[in-house]
Every structure is written in C-alpha cells, then in structure tokens.
C-alpha cells in the first residue's frame, strides 16, 4: 500500500476512534473539532488530545476520569496504524502508533513515490501569479533586496508542486523619477556602451547623477532660503548638503573617470531638475523621445538583472513593463472608474482616494484585520503636475493580472504594507471584491549586514553578484579542505551547488516577519542549520548507500525499534503535512526548518547505530531503507527551495 500522506492517515485513525468513543459515551455533547498535538516526548506516544479538559467543563467530571473512561471503551485492534491508547497526566489521551505497520507504510510509500513524495496535490488547482523581485531598473540587485527573489521563487515552486498553475512575473518599475535620473545621466554621457556588467554600469551612472543633481538642487535651495531670511531652514538643508558632499567625495574616489565626465556634462545644464522632470512627464505621457531614451536605459539594466538572477537559478514567465499600462490608457481608464465612485476627491490639483471611507462603508475592518483606532491614510492618485503614483498604476496592473488568473501574490517588503492595503481597498472601491479577496501581500522583513547601511541612491551597497562570487569562493575552499581527492572540475561543480544553496537557505529559513542578519559564519556553517549542513547530510546518506553496495531486498521494519529510528521515521512521515502547511499558509521557512531538523535526526541516527554492518541482515536492510528514504526526503525538501542536493561533498 502506498500513501501520499502517512502521518495524516495515522491522525485520521486517531480522530475516528476518539470521535466514535465520545459519541457513545457523551452523545448529548456536540463536538465540532478534535485537536491532536505532538507530545513533547516519544514516551507519550505519537499524538495526544487534550479534549478531556474541555469535556470536564460540561460533565462536571475530572479530565483524567474522562480520559480513563474513553481509553477503557476503545478497541484499537480494528485500526491498522494504532497500537494502543493511554490516559496520562491530568487528563490527556495519548495515541501510540503500530510501529511496524506505520514504519512500513511510511518507508515503502517514500520508496514508491520517490521524487514525488511529500508533494500532496490540492483538491482544486488554481491559476496563480507570483509577482516578485521587481527591483528598479536603475541599479544591480544588492544583498538587501535579494530576499525577495529567493522567497518568491521558493513560494512559486511550492505552489506549483501543490498542483497549481503558477506564473512567475517581474514588474519592471520604469515609470517615475529613478528611471529618469538614470536616463538623464546616460544621455549626458552620450548613451555609452556599458563598461562591465550592464546593471552595475547603469547603477554607477544613476548613483553619480543622483548625487551631483541633488547637490545642485540643495545649493540652490539654500541660497533661496538665505535670501528669504529663513536661516533655520537653510541650516537644515546645509546638513543634507554636507551628507551628499561626503557621498560625492566617496563616489569620486571609487569611480574618478565616470564621476568627472558626468560632473562636467551636468554642470553644462543650468537646471538639471527641469530636464529630469520633463523626462518623467514625457515618459508617462508616451512622448517618443522620452520613451526611446528611458526604455533603452532600463532594458540595458534589465539585461544585467536577468544575468544575475539566472546565476542563482531564478527565471520568470513574464516581464511586465509598468509603462505599458500608462501608454495603453489602462491607468487612465482605472482613474475614470475610480472618479465615478464616492471615494475620490480633489485637493487643489491633486486627486486623492479616501481609503478609510472604503473600510467604513464596506465594513472591512475585521475582514482586513485592522485595529479599531487605526485610520487608513488617503492615497494620492494624481499629483498636481499630472503624473500618477506607483500605487495608482499598480491598480491597473492588478486588474490586468486578474484577467489571467484567480489569485495574485505580491512578494513585497513589509515597508510597503500601507501601499498594498490601499491597492486592495481600491479594488474593493471598484466593486472587484473577489479580486481584492484573492490579492495577497506576501510581506517579509529586511536583510542587513552588521555595521553596514545599504542605499542604491548613494551607491553604498554590496551587490548580489559580489555575494554570489564570495559564496562560491568560500564554498570551494571548504569543499577542497574536506574533499581534497576530488577533481578540480568536481570541486567547482559542488562548490556552485553549495554556495548558491547556502545563500538561498540563509534568506528563506528565517521567518518572514523577522529580519535576516547576513553573516558568512552562519551562511556557510557545515555543522548546523544551513544549506551546506543539510546538503552534507544528503551526501552522507548517498555515501552510505554506495558503500553498502547492495539493495535492501528483505527489510524487517519490526526490527526498527530504537527511539532514534522511530523519531526519524516520524519526521519522514510528517513531510507531506509540513508541505501542505507551507503551501496553504505561504510559509517557505517551514520547509527549510523541516529539512534542518530532519538532517539533525538523521545524523544522530547514523552516529549511534550501525547501518551496513547491522545484524541481522534484515535489520541492516531496514536501516538502509531508512537511509535511502531520508536521502529522498532531504532532496525533495531542498528542491522546493531551489537548492540542489549533491551526492558528494
């Protein structure tokens, strides 16, 4: 017999036997849900119920008396996976698995399903867009932004394995000032061919141009304030100018030739801001000259971003240009629809969206989990100069996505929580209730390097390319130290799997609500909680199977009685349930944590018990199956995170 979810079958038997007993003993009490939890220790069984504590409130009987009565009236012999039940503590009911049968079901199911084990299909397949990464096309991806593509790709992989039709989308944010700043500097240099990696080159142009033009703007504002006698305001602006002057000195030192060329070219303009603002308006309005220039710069940068993402094994089904929605009049049509609702008003020349009124009128506070005292700020839809904001354009983009799929997941940092909420409320205001309900903001906390503050605008960042290069080198050093007998080609191949895997695991294993503090000691730790540690455990299992040089033909699972064997088997059986939870609740970190715990349990098992030399042979065969199935599950878990499992390290 093959089971796609062995532990769920055991749980179902426990629920059935308990519910039958309660129906017989307490027919007058309606029980809607039976909660079963994993006990703190194997001595208390594989599952336990605290239901007797709730029943005692309605029966005026102590929980332990109820537990004993329930256990006494149950005959577990009719159930294949339950060995026995016991009343314990002050009123718990503990369930003990029939280990030989449970072990056989689990291990034989994994052997049969192999690369498919754990990936339980959803009852209903849905079309889902996972939009992630979407780094602005004016600079390379830096390590502070790298958590987004790693999480987004893992999420898409998990949902696809769950049976959904998943589309990976990248939204190219090419409308707005940042793209215009990069385009202005690129134009001033005469539209040069990139020197080095394209996104790195455009990033330098953007940072230097931003710095030079910001200094020019601040100097003019300071003079204006001084002429007006506003000395306090002038002093505050002077502090900003001092900061930017420091950034300029730093950039001039790092990129002297490029800085000198841009400074000379920009100083020829009496008002650089005027040209950049004109590019912003012209590009959004679809003026050909602005379209040609900004699209060219953005495409150069996007080519570089694609190269970086390809390096870490991440690809997309669609690259969606924000400008396309502005030029196609989609944004204009959305604004016209919003203006027909009672939720849009004008303040001077500014068009505002009353998000709080939508919450009130449609009674959405509880549904959206908003505190009673919290008032959702209004959203500016159109500025006084006629340009729209990012969130405004995102409304049109969201409607476009929902024409293609049933669910949209936006992988966006938690600092964008308000914008994502306002986006959802705009959909509600348009009467798109179903779409609003299926729009998910998958938020995550930031990545930081100890003692280092990153900013694309000032050029103070460490690129993902640099981190990948460092990861590969460090992984190569470690692999060479541990396995000097391998060929250079094999060392390089394994180092790539280990280095990329280490980076991905470090960014996904931390709960998304918590920040990631990136340190090399933790990322490339071969001894605990890291991808190299899990990969090494997988390679160790492969090594055991190679050394055994035999197939386990006649395993006796009844001989796998040690607590370490039992604990390891339980972990293997639980993988499908962990997978379901990760998919349904969008928790890729659960997969990472499971893989790490499984590696821990496997290493304890291997250190304590012989496998190849185990006697009798049927015990050895059983342990070989346990090693093989552990290898399979480690591989399947890592695969969900986009991490390969090498057979040698």
Q: What is the pLDDT of residues 337-366, one digit of tens each?
A: 999 999 999 998 899 999 999 999 999 999
Cross-strand partners of 318 = 169
Please determine, for residue 457, whether its predicted confidence score (pLDDT) is greater than 80. Answer: no
Q: Count Cβ atoms below 10 Å from residue 595 Cβ, excluding itself.
A: 31
Between β-strands 379-382 and 516-517, what pairing exists: parallel, antiparallel or unpaired? unpaired
CB 542 within 8 A of CB 634: no
pTM: 0.94
Per-residue pLDDT reduced to its tens digit, 280-321: 999 999 999 999 999 999 999 999 999 999 999 999 999 999
Helix residue ranges, H only, 76-230: 99-113, 147-161, 177-188, 198-228
For domain 6-97, say whether CATH 3.30.1360.70 is its number: yes
Please determine, for residue 459, whether its predicted confidence score (pLDDT) is greater than 90. Answer: no
pLDDT of amino acid 310: 97
439-461 core/surface letters (b: 16 or more CB in 10 A; e: else): bbbbbbbebebeeeebebbbbeb
Per-residue pLDDT reduced to its tens digit, 267-287: 999 999 999 999 999 999 999
Give the closest residue to 558 by CA, choosing from 76, 43, 99, 42: 99
Instruction: CATH number for 127-174+322-448: choose from 3.40.190.10, 3.40.50.620, 3.30.70.870, 3.30.700.30.
Output: 3.40.50.620
Tokens of 504: 């991905």
Residue 623 CA neighbour count, 13 Å, CB half: 24
370: left (phi > 0), else alpha (psi -120 to 50), else beta? beta
Residue ranges of domains in the chain: 6-97, 127-174+322-448, 177-315, 464-640
Give the closest residue to 642 by CA, choosing from 537, 520, 508: 508
Does residue 478 or residue 642 have the better pLDDT?
642
Cross-strand partners of 47 = 95
Give the closest residue to 378 by CA, choosing from 395, 360, 354, 358: 354
Per-residue pLDDT reduced to its tens digit, 152-192: 999 999 999 999 999 999 999 999 999 999 999 999 999 99
Q: Is-same-fold flag (127-174+322-448; 464-640)?
A: no
What one-character DSSP code corresponds to residue 247? H
Q: How many residues does the chain have?
A: 649
Helix residue ranges, H only, 176-197: 177-188
How far is it, in rounded angstroms, from Cα 98 to Cα 80?
A: 7
> Looking at residues 480-500, what average pLDDT do you find?
93
Does residue 310 or residue 519 have the better pLDDT?
310
How far is it, in rounded angstroms, from Cα 391 to Cα 407?
A: 19
Please determine, for residue 13, whether its predicted confidence score (pLDDT) is greater than 90. Answer: yes
Work out the percent of the chain whose per-residue pLDDT is above 70: 100
State phi, psi for 52 to the nearest 5 degrees: -65, -25
pLDDT of amino acid 456: 72
pLDDT of amino acid 455: 75
For domain 464-640, say whether CATH 1.10.730.10 is its number: yes
pLDDT of amino acid 527: 77
């Amino acid at each position: 017999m093959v089971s796609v979810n062995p532990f769920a079958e055991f749980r179902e038997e426990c629920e059935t036997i308990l519910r039958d007993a309660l129906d017989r003993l307490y027919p007058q009490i309606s029980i809607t849900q039976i909660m079963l939890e994993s006990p703190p220790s194997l001595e208390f069984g594989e599952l336990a119920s605290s239901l007797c504590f709730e029943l005692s409130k309605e029966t005026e009987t102590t929980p332990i008396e109820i537990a004993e009565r329930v256990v006494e009236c149950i005959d577990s012999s009719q159930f294949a996976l339950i060995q026995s039940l016991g009343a314990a503590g002050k009123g718990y009911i503990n369930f003990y698995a029939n280990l030989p049968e449970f072990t056989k079901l689990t291990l034989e199911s994994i052997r049969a399903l192999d690369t498919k084990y754990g990936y339980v299909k959803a009852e209903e397949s849905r079309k889902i867009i996972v939009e992630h990464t979407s780094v602005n096309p004016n600079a390379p991806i830096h390590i502070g932004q790298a958590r987004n593509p790693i999480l987004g790709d893992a999420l898409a992989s998990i949902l696809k394995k769950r049976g959904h039709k998943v589309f990976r989308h990248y939204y190219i944010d090419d409308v707005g000032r940042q793209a215009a700043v990069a385009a202005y500097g690129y134009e001033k240099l005469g539209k040069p061919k990139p020197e080095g990696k394209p996104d790195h080159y455009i990033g330098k142009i953007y940072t230097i141009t931003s710095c030079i033009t910001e200094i020019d703007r601040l100097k003019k504002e300071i003079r204006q304030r001084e002429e007006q006698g506003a000395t306090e305001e002038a002093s505050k602006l002077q502090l900003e100018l001092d900061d930017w002057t420091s950034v300029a000195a730093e950039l001039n030192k790092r990129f002297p030739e490029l800085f000198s060329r841009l400074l000379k070219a920009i100083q020829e303009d009496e008002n650089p801001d005027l040209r950049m603002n004109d590019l912003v308006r012209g590009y959004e309005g679809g003026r050909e000259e602005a379209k040609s220039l900004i699209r060219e710069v953005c495409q150069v940068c996007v080519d570089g971003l694609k190269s970086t993402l390809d390096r870490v094994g991440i690809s997309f089904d669609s690259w969606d240009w924000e400008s396309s929605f502005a030029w196609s009049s989609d944004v204009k049509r959305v604004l016209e629809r919003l203006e027909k609702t009672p939720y849009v008003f004008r303040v001077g020349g500014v068009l505002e969206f009353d998000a709080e009124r939508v919450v009130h009128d449609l009674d959405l506070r509880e549904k959206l989990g908003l505190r009673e005292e919290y008032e959702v700020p209004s959203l500016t839809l159109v500025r006084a100069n006629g340009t729209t904001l990012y969130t405004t354009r995102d409304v049109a983009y969201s409607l476009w996505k929902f024409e293609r799929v049933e669910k949209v997941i936006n992988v966006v940092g938690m600092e964008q929580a308000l914008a994502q909420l306002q986006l959802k409320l705009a959909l509600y205001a348009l009467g798109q209730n179903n779409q609003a309900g299926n729009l998910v903001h998958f938020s995550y906390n930031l990545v930081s390097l100890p003692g280092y503050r990153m900013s694309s605008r000032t050029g103070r960042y460490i690129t993902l390319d640099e981190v990948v290069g460092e990861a590969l080198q460090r992984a190569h050093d470690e692999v060479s130290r541990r396995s000097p007998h391998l060929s250079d080609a094999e060392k390089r191949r394994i180092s790539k799997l280990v280095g990329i895997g280490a980076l991905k695991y470090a960014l996904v294993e931390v709960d998304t609500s918590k920040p990631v503090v990136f340190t090399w000691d933790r990322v490339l730790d071969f001894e605990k909680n890291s991808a190299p540690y899990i990969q090494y455990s997988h390679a160790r299992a492969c090594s055991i199977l190679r050394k055994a040089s035999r197939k386990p033909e006649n395993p006796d699972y009844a001989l796998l009685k040690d607590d370490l064997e039992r604990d390891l088997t339980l972990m293997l059986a639980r993988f499908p349930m962990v997978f379901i939870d990760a998919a349904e609740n969008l928790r890729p970190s659960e997969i990472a944590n499971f893989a790490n715990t499984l590696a821990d349990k496997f290493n304890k098992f291997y250190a304590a018990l012989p496998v190849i030399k185990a006697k009798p042979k049927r015990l050895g065969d059983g342990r070989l199956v346990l090693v093989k199935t552990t290898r399979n599950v480690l591989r399947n878990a890592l695969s969900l995170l986009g991490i390969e499992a090498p057979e040698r390290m």
